[in-house]
Structures are given as C-alpha cells and as structure tokens.
Structure 1
C-alpha cells in the first residue's frame, strides 16, 4: 500500500472537491510530520523540504486504496506549481513511512511569509 501526506488545502478540515472525489479510496492513517517548511501563498501554502532538524510540517497521512486514481486526481488539482515526491513521514507513534507529498516547484521570493511551527490549519485559525 502507498501513502499520501497532506499539509494544506487537502487537509480533512477543508471541503476540497478534488479530495472529496477520491475520499472513498483513501483511509486516514493518522497525524504525521515531514522535514520541511511551509509558506503562505494566500489561498494555499507552499511546502519545501528541509534537512534542518527544527523544520517540521504537520499534516495527515492517508493509505491509498487506488494509488493511480487518487494521485491522477490530485496531480490535476495541484497543477504545474507542485511536484509529487516520495518522502519519509513520521507518524505520531514514531513509525516512519514513505509518503507521496506535493512539493512547491517555483522559487519563493523573500516577501513570502513562512508559517512558523509548520501547522497550516493552526495558522489559518489564528490568522482569521
């Protein structure tokens, strides 16, 4: 089975049409953390990976029942700005698994705000 790590508008808190279209093919596995940083792009966040131990991005991990269908749908949703990559994600209990993650491709300019703490949902709630 393959897994997907989501950290932004694909989180279960949001009513996302792309995710809703494939929700029956995904089983929630738990909360996870990925080594990276996220940035506020306005309507959605951008993730870049990091090797720095203090850089954690919070998200949800899903087991995929039909990897090809789920990823094809989400690839279309994410568009050209994101590249799908495999990365190690740590689940709450400490277990590490390889997950598909959407990583931002373009270079970020210096004016983009980093989401400190790596938790997009907490950031949106506090911003709001």
Structure 2
C-alpha cells in the first residue's frame, strides 16, 4: 500500500504555515522541494479543501512538493489525518499518485490525497490555491 514515489504533494492544511501536528510531522520527516501543481479542481469542503484530479483539466491545483524520509511511517500517519480507510467507499480522501509540475518545468510523480466524496454542493476555489480561500 505504500510502495510508490518518495514525493508527496499537499495543497491544503499540510502546507507550510498551517499549525497542526500532522503538518509539523511532515516538515520534520521530509524536505520541501518546491511549489507545484496538478491538473484538476479544488473545492472548499469546510475549513479545509478537497481536490479532484482530471488529467484533461486545464485548471491547476497549486500546492507544495516534499521528498519524504521513512515513507511508510509518514504515509501511515498522514492516511490517518486524511481519513483514508481500507474500505475506500467510506474514506474522505484516497491517496493516489499524480503527475505534478514543478516551477522548474519538470514533472514528478507524487502521492497526494484526493477528495473521495461528492463535490456537487461544494464551492469551487477557482484560483486553484487554498491560500486564496477566505470562506468557511
């Protein structure tokens, strides 16, 4: 379940500047590689966001890329934070590998947490950047 890339892309409350123990754990157990984006849509779920990946999308979801150390341990803890369960039908998020564009023009495959519930009634964050969201 944790085999895959050593990179993680975050676009919400795990980014730098958010004060929670899981963001702090991410900072301690990884190296910030830079800002990036993937193709998709970003929504305001509540005080936190949810993103959906669409390969064909022309809209970006912006965030940060980290190179993780001790990948299995860190992903286990982050899975707990993101309400990822063995039964994906009840998971709030699912962890998937998506291609992320970096500021230098390269693309790296990263784990990320994608929203796993209906977005029908959610407000879209049109800029694709959670830091721009002032609601909830």
| Common topology (TM > 0.5) | yes
Contact persistence 2:38–2:101 (CA under 8 A): yes
Q: Matched residue of 2:63: which SS? A: strand
Match of 1:37 among 31, 38, 41: 41
Structure 1 gaps, min length 5: none
Q: Provide the rounded CA distance (Å) in 1 between the counterparts of 2:6 and 2:115.
A: 21
Partner of 2:87: none
Partner of 1:46: 50
Aligned ranges for residues 1-128 of structure 1 at < 5 Å?
Answer: 2-79=6-83, 80-109=91-120, 111-124=121-134, 127=135
Structure 2 gaps, min length 5: 84-90
Q: Using a 3 Å threshold, how does the CA distance of structure 1 residues 69 and 92 change in structure 2: closer, same or farther?
A: same
Q: Segments of 4+ in structure 1 off by > 6 A? A: none
Q: Provide the rounded CA distance (Å) in 1 between the counterparts of 2:64 and 2:50.
A: 16
Task: Return the TM-score normalized by structure 1.
Answer: 0.90
Task: Return the TM-score normalized by structure 2.
Answer: 0.85
